Structure 1
Amino acid sequence: MPKSQPFERHTERYEEWFDAHEEAYRSEVEALRRLIPQPGFGIEIGVGSARFAAPLGMHVGIDPASDMLSLARKRDIEVVRGVAERLPFDDGTFDTALIVTTICFVDDIAQTLAEARRILRPNGALVIGYIDKDSPVGRMYQEKQSENPFYRDAVFVSTDELVEKLEAAGFSAFESVQTIYRWPDEIDEPEPIDSGYGDGSFVGIKATR
């Protein structure tokens, strides 16, 4: 079942993180923007409160947490309640599908990727942003996992693992960016954004249908 209960119960705490870590958040947004300069008709899967969907030009957002969807609606996103493994959209509906800090919460990554590919138009792009399991921040999150209501049930993935799953789902033409080189509490100015992965803790991957 979707791991949405913490996001329903701690919506305000979720929103406060972005306000308290504004430069880290902006660095992540700008990193992903490099992968989707022209999103076309876009959807964010696991939209949350639309902190990424809105600035990155997505039109639709789907999420199982109703309180999050209320906030996304206020950010002018058309919202649908549902889960990543069963997307209520026709084949080939979207030009871009975005998944940010959500891949570690889905019940079935393979099914999520298959559904994302299904709803994309030919040559459509899937962009995934996440904390790499093997990065400094990723390792710290795992060490403190039991203390955090959001990450308690998360299953983190490494970039190599995710690329393998994307290839198995039929995606190709990968492009990646990375940012967040310090612990978010220590970031008080924009972080560098570089191509590739392996150094930055936040990684964005673009894959083509």
Structure 2
Amino acid sequence: MPRSEPFERHADRYDEWFETHPEAYRSEVEALRRLLPRPGFGVEIGVGSGRFASPLGMRVGIDPAGEMLAHARDRGIDVVTGVAEALPFPEETFDTALIVTTICFVDDVFRTVSEARRVLRPDGSLVIGYIDKNSPIGRRYQEQKADNPFYREAVFVSTAELVDELEAAGFTDFEFVQTICHWPADIDDPEPIEEGYGEGSFVGIKAVR
């Protein structure tokens, strides 16, 4: 079952996070932009309210939560209701697939990335942005998850675990970026964006079909 109920009930609260943490949000967008210089025809899987799809040039967004899709539609995204493990698109439809802060909510990571690969064109790219479970923020989110309606049922993954799933699905040619070294509420200026992973709590991976 998709973990969409909190996002249906608290869609406005979710969307307001980006207004109250603007520099953390901007840092995450810019980190992912480094992996997406020319997205072509792109889809965001788990598009949510469209906060990443819109600035990063994704034209299509899919999500199980209708209230979130309403926000994404208002941001100019062509929205589709559905889940990551069973994408309602033909094979080789998109140049780019994007998954941001969603991988911890899917029921099956391998099926999710396999479906992303299926709908990508040859040499298409999958970009995933997420909070690494072994990072300072990842550990804090896990410690406090019982108090957060969004993260209560989340299953965080490490970079090593995610790379294993991507390789098993057939992806290659990995690139990594990282940012967010401070708690989001304490960030007053854009965070540095570096290659690799292991220091920043927010990691971006680009993998090629």
Q: What range describes the TM-score normalised by the shorter chain of this pair?
A: over 0.9
Amino acid at match of 2:183: W
The separation in 1 between residues aligned to 2:113 and 2:15, in whole angstroms, is 27
2:6 corresponds to which residue?
Answer: 6
The separation in 2 between residues aligned to 1:113 and 1:126, in whole angstroms, is 8
Amino acid at match of 1:40: G
1:87 aligns with 2:87: yes
Give the aligned length.
209
1:74 corresponds to which residue?
Answer: 74
1:55 aligns with 2:55: yes
Task: Describe the superposition over 1:9-43 as per-residue Cα deviations: whole angstroms up to 9, x where unpaired.
Answer: 01111011100000000000000000000000000
The separation in 1 between residues aligned to 2:185 and 2:71, in whole angstroms, is 25
Unpaired runs of 5+ residues, structure 1, are none
Give the deviation of 1:195 after TM superposition.
0.2
User: Where has structure 1 moved over 4 Å in runs of 4 or more?
Assistant: none
Residue identity over aligned pairs, in percent, reads: 73
1:18 aligns with 2:22: no
Task: Describe the superposition over 1:170-190 as per-residue Cα deviations: whole angstroms up to 9, x where unpaired.
Answer: 000000000000000100100
Specify the SS of the correspondent of 1:27: helix
The separation in 2 between residues aligned to 1:12 and 1:86, in whole angstroms, is 26
The separation in 1 between residues aligned to 2:48 and 2:80, in whole angstroms, is 11
Amino acid at match of 1:196: G
Alignment root-mean-square deviation, CA: 0.3
Specify the SS of the correspondent of 1:54: helix
1:29 corresponds to which residue?
Answer: 29
2:133 corresponds to which residue?
Answer: 133
2:41 corresponds to which residue?
Answer: 41
The separation in 2 between residues aligned to 1:177 and 1:85, in whole angstroms, is 25
Specify the SS of the correspondent of 2:55: coil
Task: Describe the superposition over 1:153-186 as per-residue Cα deviations: whole angstroms up to 9, x where unpaired.
Answer: 0000000110011000000000000000000010
If the length of structure 2 is used for normalisation, what is the TM-score? 1.00
The separation in 1 between residues aligned to 2:23 and 2:113, in whole angstroms, is 30
If the length of structure 1 is used for normalisation, what is the TM-score? 1.00
Task: Describe the superposition over 1:66-113 as per-residue Cα deviations: whole angstroms up to 9, x where unpaired.
Answer: 010011001000000000000000000000000000000000111001
The separation in 2 between residues aligned to 1:11 and 1:79, in whole angstroms, is 16
Specify the SS of the correspondent of 1:173: strand
1:187 corresponds to which residue?
Answer: 187
Amino acid at match of 1:3: R
